[in-house]
């Protein structure tokens, strides 16, 4: 089967605590509920792509434990190809605190994600010239090699530098689409990015370092894009009820990837990504809250 999207990245089992606020240092605070579900930026992005009807292969590593089994099961249930997922050691975990506002804080435990090695990245993965999606929750040398392989095989690359880390200019120059949020953009450039005007300035600087486009996401403030054809701010899709923003950025990237694969204008891809991520924040959790194409397409001409 031809692959539309190759996701090389992280798989974490998420443990989410619903609570009114964060505890103070030294304070024991009572949570209001507990949720457990598959996650990780790589897994989330793969699932959202698949739910929109794309043919997806996932490459990563989970633990040889019950968490790992659940992570693979979720991918298979969403029609993601999993034959190149390793099992070794203990699974990566995401410890997430969901606040009453719908905002969240998270701590990631790397676990098996860093057991994915450069030797696991095979030339055969790139044979169909799929869109290659990468994040920064796996070892940096694996990300660098995957980007180099993608260029060698003429595959477009979407890099989500999250959580943010230093990336050398030579590697960035092989990336087609760079997607970061305001915090990650600030890390990469060394100055604050708070308002859409800041984000647009940051995107213009970063655009000089990549092949096609830079997108900076701003949550409820929308997103900005700088490419050869687009240069501006896109408003967020308003939601009456925001329940949980966990995974919203991954949902956005999955939908953006759909637009890229379908060769939509970048502006339409961004509007569609905003619509899809807005749907996801109206329910708890990551993968379980992601929409299918039927959930978001009837009112829009995205196809």
Question: Mind telling me the catalytic residues?
Answer: 250
Strand partners, 158: 133, 177
Q: In the structure encoding, which two tokens stand for residue 301, read together?
A: 């001409």
User: Measuring CA to CA, which residue among 262, 217, 211, 259 is closest to residue 236?
Assistant: 217
Radius of gyration (C-alpha) of the chain in whole angstroms? 18
Rounded alpha-carbon distances, angstroms, from residue 199 to 187, 195, 223: 12, 6, 8
CB-based contacts of 162, cutoff 8 Å, min separation 6? 41, 135, 136, 137, 180, 181, 184, 249
Question: Which stretches of the chain are assigned E, i.e. beta strand?
Answer: 5-8, 12-18, 33-39, 56-62, 80-81, 85-87, 92-98, 104-109, 131-135, 157-160, 177-181, 213-217, 223-227, 231-234
Question: In the 8-state DSSP scheme, what is residue 102?
Answer: S
Helices (H) and strands (E) counted in the chain, each on its own, are 9, 14
């Amino acid at each position: 089967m031809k692959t539309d999207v190759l996701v090389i990245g992280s798989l974490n089992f998420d443990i989410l605590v619903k609570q009114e606020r964060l505890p103070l240092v030294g304070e024991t605070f009572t949570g209001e509920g507990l949720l457990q579900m598959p996650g990780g930026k790589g897994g989330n992005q793969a699932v959202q792509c698949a739910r929109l009807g794309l043919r997806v292969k996932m490459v990563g590593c989970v633990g040889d434990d019950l968490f790992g089994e659940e992570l693979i099961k979720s991918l298979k249930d969403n029609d993601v190809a999993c034959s190149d997922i390793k099992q070794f050691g203990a699974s990566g975990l995401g410890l997430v605190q969901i606040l009453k506002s719908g905002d969240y804080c998270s701590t990631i435990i790397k676990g098996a994600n860093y057991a994915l090695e450069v030797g696991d990245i095979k030339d055969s993965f790139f044979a169909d010239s799929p869109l290659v999606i990468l994040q920064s929750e796996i070892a940096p040398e694996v990300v660098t090699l995957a980007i180099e392989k993608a260029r060698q095989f003429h595959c477009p690359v979407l890099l989500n530098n999250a959580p943010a880390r230093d990336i050398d200019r030579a590697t960035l120059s092989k990336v087609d689409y760079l997607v970061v949020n305001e915090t990650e953009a600030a890390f990469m450039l060394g100055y604050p990015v708070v308002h859409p005007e800041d984000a647009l300035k940051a995107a213009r600087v970063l655009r000089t370092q990549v092949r096609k486009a830079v997108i900076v996401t701003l949550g409820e403030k929308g997103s900005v894009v700088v490419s050869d054809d687009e240069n501006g701010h896109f408003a967020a899709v308003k939601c009456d009820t925001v329940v949980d923003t966990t995974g919203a950025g991954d949902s956005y990237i999955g939908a953006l990837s759909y637009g890229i694969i379908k060769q939509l204008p970048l502006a339409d891809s961004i509007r569609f990504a905003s619509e899809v991520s807005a749907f996801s924040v109206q329910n708890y959790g990551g993968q379980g809250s992601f929409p299918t194409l039927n959930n978001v397409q009837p009112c829009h001409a995205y196809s």
